Amino acid sequence: MSDRSWKHNGLYRKYRIAKADGSPLDPEARYFPLRYDGTDPNAELALQVYAASVRAYNPKLADDILAALKNPAEAPQP
């Protein structure tokens, strides 16, 4: 599938998720990774909405997300 598969495919397993510290994942949890380097404008919008949603109780996270959107190359790597 191409890098633009988000335009044509439904929801399917594309990524493997692991915690950076190696601790186990909750087997019932569901994750949805977003590519925000300009490839998928929908991912950028989703992260803007998420940042707005968390701002009231986690302004640092909101600021970090918006900074990462402005300069993805400087954002922490997964």
What pLDDT digit, counting tens, does each position of 19-67 carry? 999 999 999 999 999 999 988 999 999 999 999 999 999 999 999 999 9
Half-sphere exposure of 20 (CA within 13 A, CB side): 3
Residue 36 · residue 72 · CB < 8 Å: yes
What pTM does this model have?
0.79
Distance CA 69, CA 13 (A): 24
Amino acid (1-letter code) at residue 38 = G
Distance CA 66, CA 72 (A): 10
